[in-house]
């Protein structure tokens, strides 16, 4: 019988050895869904900016669903966690569901989940999404004669809500919008083809949704065939191959998240009032390889004049 209990007893015992030192002060948990450069940047920004005396403890689920549950259990079981910050939509959603009855302040960094959709008033988010106007302005800078862009967007509730805002912003700049909504990956191959894009369109614009962001190589084929631009709304898609994008720097997201959480813990703000905090600082990210090949002329020819100097003040993105 000893055989069964021995490993448990060892684990039990080691627990007390370390428990003393770590439970002394209150802590903040920062949970990363996986090991990724962009996530590490958010972590870096968060830790750098954190001003409270609470220690920031970083957990990493390493991309495994079973680890996430264990991490949330560990946080829930350990005393002294004053607040929990999670990165990304799915992780934040799971944490919001998990801590529903425990009334711990939750912060979703780089997430866009409203407290009402998960019924958890303790949740607030730092949204790293960009207003459509900033994206359109960048396009206008690069291609001054732009008259129409094509928006490819996933057919889900959250993304559909953004279409009217996008169209409104485009209208104020005198740009027409062709909207293509896609249900699924197969739908994408059928609906987004060189012939389905309007002839006078200057660029395909994608926003931050799983579906389109995961299909950048396919979108690149279409835009290269037509000689138009692929513009995205975050840094990650530019790393994947989008020509340029307007977005929020991951580091900055971490910084703002730390500020919001600090205010909530010091009770100068209430989570439900913060809701979804939009980021204010935006940067333009450029695929450096593409930029260089445009200068040397080895890139696929565009069918209109562009002003590459419009991107000169943007921050280039090196492929990882």
Partner 1 sequence: MQVLYSLYSAISQAFLYAPLAVGVGYSYVFLRKTDLSPEGTFVLGACIFAKTILITENYYFALCAGMLAGALGGAIVFCLQKNRRMNPILASLMLIYILYSVNLIFLGRPNISIGNACIPLFGKEFVDYESQRMIGSIINGIILCALTFLLSGRKGLLLRAVGSNSALMNRLGYKSDSIAMLGLMLSNALAALAGANTTIIIGYADINMGLGNAFIAITTCLVGRSIAPFKRETYWGMLLQCVLGLTLYFFILSKLIFFNITPTYFKLTMGIVLIVILFASKKRCKK
Q: Is 59 in the site for partner 1 (CB under 8 A)?
A: yes
Taking each helix axis from N to C terminus, what angle separates 37-49 and 250-265, rounded to the nearest 10 degrees? Answer: 40
Q: Is 63 in the site for partner 1 (CB under 8 A)?
A: yes
Q: Which of 51, 53, 79, 318 binds partner 1 (CB under 8 A)?
A: 79
The footprint of partner 1 on this chain (CB under 8 A) covers a number of residues equal to: 51
- Smallest distance, Å, CB 113 to partner 1? 10
Does 214 sit near partner 1 (CB under 8 A)? yes
Q: Tell me: does residue 190 bind partner 1 (CB under 8 A).
A: no
Task: Tell me: does residue 21 bind partner 1 (CB under 8 A).
Answer: no
- x-marked contacts with partner 1 along 143-172 as a string, rule CB under 8 A: -----------x------------------
**Between residue 218 and residue 277, which ones bind partner 1 under the rule CB under 8 A?**
none
Pick from 20, 51, 66, 313: which binds partner 1 (CB under 8 A)?
66
Rounded to a whole number of angstroms, the minimum distance from the CB of residue 91 to partner 1 is 10
Q: Does 186 bind partner 1 (CB under 8 A)?
A: yes
Rounded CA-CA distance 265/149 in Å is 43
Helices (H), 227-317: 235-240, 250-265, 271-274, 288-296
H-type alpha helices, the chain: 2-23, 37-49, 65-77, 89-98, 132-142, 157-172, 185-191, 210-213, 216-226, 235-240, 250-265, 271-274, 288-296
**15: how many CB neighbours lie within 10 A of its CB?**
9
Q: Are 262 and 52 in contact (CB under 8 A)?
A: yes
> Cβ of residue 120: shortest distance to partner 1, in angstroms?
10
Region of 61-69, 242-250, 253-261, 299-307 interacting with partner 1 (CB under 8 A): 61-69
Q: Which of 41, 49, 52, 57 binds partner 1 (CB under 8 A)?
A: 57
For the bound state, the minimum distance from the C-beta of residue 175 to partner 1, rounded and expressed in Å, comes to 28
Q: Does 183 bind partner 1 (CB under 8 A)?
A: yes
Asked whether position 60 contacts partner 1 by CB under 8 A, the answer is yes
7 makes contact with partner 1 (CB under 8 A): yes
Q: Distances in Å between the alpha carbon of 53 and those of 255, 261, 265, 276, 303?
A: 16, 13, 11, 25, 56
Place of tokens 């340029």: 244
Angstrom distance (rounded) from CA 228 to CA 206: 14
- Write the DSSP string, 170-207: HHHTT-EEEEEEESSHHHHHHHSSTTTS-TT--EEEE-
Q: Which of 242, 314, 317 is nearest to 282 (CA)?
A: 314
C-alpha–C-alpha distance, residues 318 and 210, integer Å:
22
User: Whose CA is closest to 306, among 138, 76, 183?
Assistant: 138
**Between 11 and 320, CB nearer to partner 1:** 11
Residue list 89-118, contact with partner 1 (CB under 8 A): 90, 93-94, 97-98, 100-101, 118
Residues in touch with partner 1 (CB under 8 A): 1, 3-4, 6-8, 11-12, 14-15, 18-19, 35, 57-60, 62-71, 73-74, 76-79, 90, 93-94, 97-98, 100-101, 118-119, 154, 183-187, 210-211, 214
């Amino acid at each position: 019988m000893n055989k069964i209990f021995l490993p448990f007893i060892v684990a039990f015992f080691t627990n007390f050895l370390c428990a003393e030192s770590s439970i002394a002060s209150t802590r903040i948990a920062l949970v990363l869904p996986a090991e990724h450069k962009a996530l590490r940047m958010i972590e870096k920004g968060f830790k750098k900016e954190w001003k409270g005396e609470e220690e920031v403890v970083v957990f990493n689920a390493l991309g495994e669903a079973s680890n996430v549950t264990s991490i949330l259990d560990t946080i829930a079981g350990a005393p002294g966690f004053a607040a929990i910050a999670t990165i990304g939509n799915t992780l934040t959603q799971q944490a919001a569901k998990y801590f529903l009855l425990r009334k711990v302040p939750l912060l979703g960094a780089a997430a866009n989940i409203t407290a009402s959709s998960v019924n958890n008033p303790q949740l607030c988010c730092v949204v790293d999404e960009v207003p459509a106007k900033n994206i359109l302005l960048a396009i206008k800078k690069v291609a001054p004669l732009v008259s129409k862009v094509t928006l490819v967007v996933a057919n889900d509730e959250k993304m559909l809500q953004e279409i009217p805002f996008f169209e409104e912003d485009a209208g104020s700049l005198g740009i027409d919008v062709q909207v293509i909504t896609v249900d699924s990956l197969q739908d994408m191959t059928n609906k987004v083809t060189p012939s389905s894009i309007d002839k006078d369109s200057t660029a395909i614009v994608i926003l931050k949704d799983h579906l389109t962001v995961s299909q950048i190589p396919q979108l690149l084929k279409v835009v290269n065939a037509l000689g138009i631009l692929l513009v995205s709304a975050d840094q990650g898609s530019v790393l994947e191959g989008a020509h340029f994008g307007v977005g929020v720097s991951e580091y900055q997201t971490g910084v703002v998240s730390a500020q919001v959480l600090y205010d909530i813990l010091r009770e100068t703000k209430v989570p439900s009032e913060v809701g979804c905090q939009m980021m204010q600082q935006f940067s333009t990210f450029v695929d450096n390889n593409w930029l260089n090949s445009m200068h040397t002329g080895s890139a696929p020819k565009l069918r209109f004049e562009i002003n590459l100097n419009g991107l000169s003040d943007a921050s280039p993105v090196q492929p990882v």
